[in-house]
Amino acid sequence: MKNLKELLEHQLKDLYSAELQLVTALPEFITAANDSEIKIVLTNHFRETKIHKERLENICSELNIDPTGKICKAMDGLIRETYSFIAEESEEEVLDAGLIGEVQRIEHYEIAGYGTAARYARELGLSNIARELYKTFSEEENVDHLLNGIAESRINQAAIA
């Protein structure tokens, strides 16, 4: 890569791959959850993830970038870890507490990626694209916040028993 524009392109392709992988994985995470509130948050986030994917397609189209062809190895690893955790023998409350933690790791990766891409876009003078990326950044932060609230309010305490 020679400049910040190429670095932004690299970041957008990585995020697109991550969102594609999540569109496939989230339904399985929803099925694995026992708690109805976790299922609701993950179901809503599944819908948002489809929007995030479309948003990235629009951004890439505007920048004449083909978003396909890159595999986000970090997301692949995070999803594999989540599948591995789900496959372990766990009490329902422990599974839900652990699932929240696994999904939050995924969200933190996305928060970092979208924040970085938005900053690059802003610094390149692509204010509309930066705004769209910050919108997704905020939605990812919100999911993290919601899951954290569920964990702190009751799930982690239930897992202690």
Confidence band for 161, pLDDT divided at 50, 70 and 90: confident
Q: State which residues form the domain around 37.
A: 4-160
Angle of the 73-87 helix axis to the 92-123 helix axis, nearest 10: 170
Q: 111-151: per-residue pLDDT in tens?
A: 999 999 999 999 999 999 999 999 999 999 999 999 999 99
Domain count, the chain: 1
pTM of this structure:
0.96
Q: 9-67: per-residue pLDDT in tens?
A: 999 999 999 999 999 999 999 999 999 999 999 999 999 999 999 999 999 999 999 99
Q: What is the CATH number of the domain that holds 155?
A: 1.20.1260.10
Which amino acid, 85? F
Q: How many CA atoms lie within 13 A of 6 on its CB side?
A: 3
